[in-house]
């Protein structure tokens, strides 16, 4: 999944949560699975980018680009975490 796909899924999850009353238990479960997968993917990307930053052969412009990408993934992960929390709250 590319970053555009990630963003598209996040927007779709948010849109569906706006009309949360219309979500079936099965739809909530599927969205929760997707959200958990997306958070895991973002975590993996964040860790991989951190290992690149720790590589002493990375020059400063590259480091800035990697840190920017890492910040993007951190933001997207946090936003998808909010989706997960809301889905779990609906299940209760």
pLDDT of residue 34 exceeding 90: yes
pLDDT of residue 29 exceeding 70: yes
- Could you tell me the residue ranges of all domains in the chain? 3-91
Angle at 72 between CA 71 and CA 77, to 5 degrees: 95
How far apart (Å, rounded) are the C-alpha atoms in residues 7 and 82? 14
- On average, the pLDDT of the chain sits at 90
pLDDT for 51 equals 93
- Mean pLDDT on 20-31: 83
- What's the chain's length in residues? 92
Longest dimension (CA), the chain: 52
pLDDT classification of 39: cutoffs 50, 70, 90: very high
pLDDT for 80 equals 94
pLDDT for 20 equals 67
pLDDT for 21 equals 63
């Amino acid at each position: 999944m590319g970053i555009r796909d990630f963003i598209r899924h996040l927007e779709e999850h948010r849109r569906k949560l706006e009309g949360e009353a219309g979500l079936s238990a099965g739809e909530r479960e599927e969205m929760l699975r997707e959200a958990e997968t997306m958070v895991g993917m973002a975590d993996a990307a964040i860790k991989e980018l951190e290992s690149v930053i720790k590589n002493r052969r990375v020059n400063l412009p590259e480091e800035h680009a990697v840190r920017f990408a890492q910040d993007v993934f951190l933001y997207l992960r946090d936003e998808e975490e909010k989706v997960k929390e809301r889905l779990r709250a609906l299940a209760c």
